[in-house]
Amino acid sequence: MQVIIALGANLGNPQETLRAAALDIAALKGISVLAASSLYCTTPVGYAAQDDFINAVMAVESSLEPLELLQQLAALEQKYKRVRTIKNGPRTLDLDVITCGDIISADPVLTLPHPRAQERAFVLVPLAEITPDLIFPDTKRSVQSLVAELSAADVAGVRLMNAKLMAP
């Protein structure tokens, strides 16, 4: 099934971390990368007293069960020394499963689609770069239509960098 993974970081060397994490994701058994976005510099959401984030998204083909994939991604966050102290706070690496095919789940461990992805510019703008026609299974809304509804301020907070997450 096609899975969308969002990547973000703002501690250490975020660009280097995201690129290395993308290669780690690509190396997971049962994962094949379909597309990866450019890197974007984004204004923090929620907790504002921190550095800007570097964000990107990947579309992968996965034969893993969603919870198994989540566990693999959590292990990668630990590899990069992720510490959870402040909600929406600074982090060395954040990996979120945004969608897993057409699965809709209210499981508190892995809610699908990701509960806030459809309102977050730092997910939607990079996603529009690689798969603008993706339809979220719960709302039946396309990435493109959701981006069109973002505020100008939200879109302005997501700045395209002259760099790709992964080499073509």
Residues serving a catalytic function are: 82, 91, 94, 96
How many Cα neighbours within 13 Å face the side chain of 24? 20
Can you list the positions of beta strands (E) in 11-133?
31-36, 38-42, 53-62, 94-100
Helix (H) or strand (E) holding 19: helix 14-26
Name the burial class of residue 161, with classes exposed (0-12), middle (13-18) and buried (19+) by CB atoms within 10 angstroms of its CB: middle
**CB distance 112 to 97 below 8 Å:** yes
